[in-house]
A = this chain, B = another copy of it.
Amino acid sequence: MKVDVIVFECREGSLLQTEAVVTQKKQKVKEQFHLFLTKKRLKATLQRNLILDAFVDLDRPTHMDELYLVLRSKHSHIGHATVYRALRLFAAAGIAREFSLGDGLTRYELAGHGKRHDYLVCSDCGTVTEFDNSSIEQRQLAVARSMGFTVEALKIELRGVCSRCLTQSG
């Protein structure tokens, strides 16, 4: 059987992004957040700005503890409850998306790339990388439809060893 397929559309995150693009994206996200704060009569605090900076600067899926460590190392006294609350707030503001992998941690990533979320999770170093391949989605939807299932969100989670860990151990 032969069918039309779309050539893989992979993106490798920050590797393909220029300094200028990153700075611009960061500025846009911060504007969106402050617009949200104003609209909801919430307050722009030092902590929220620091946490948002750390989150956007990292530029990959992360979780509370990772941000907490970054923040404590560079700046000073931020409570962990504040980081938890800030991340939930980012999700409420629509600038972050909350998701989960098998471990007990609640993860967040910058939002705004649709209902399809495809992750490569390194079982060695734990790093989460996103990829994007729209041709797989068609198959997923077809299978679901054949079972009478109406799909709202699609997630792929591939576990293995990332290129960095492969070269280090081999």
A contacts, CB < 8 Å to B: 1-8, 10, 12, 99-102, 104, 118, 120, 122-123, 129, 131, 133, 135-136, 139-140, 142-144, 146-163, 166
B144–A149 touching, CB < 8 Å: no
Determine the distance from Cα of A27 to Cα of B148 in the docked complex, in whole angstroms: 32
Tell me the number of copies of this protein: 2
B152–A140 touching, CB < 8 Å: no
Residue of B4, B129, B152, B155 touching A123 (CB-CB under 8 A): B152
Closest CB in chain B relative to A133 CB, distance in Å: 5
- Decide yes or no: A139 and B135 within 8 Å by CB, A1-B5, A153-B159 being known contacts: yes
Residue of B4, B99, B146 touching A8 (CB-CB under 8 A): B146
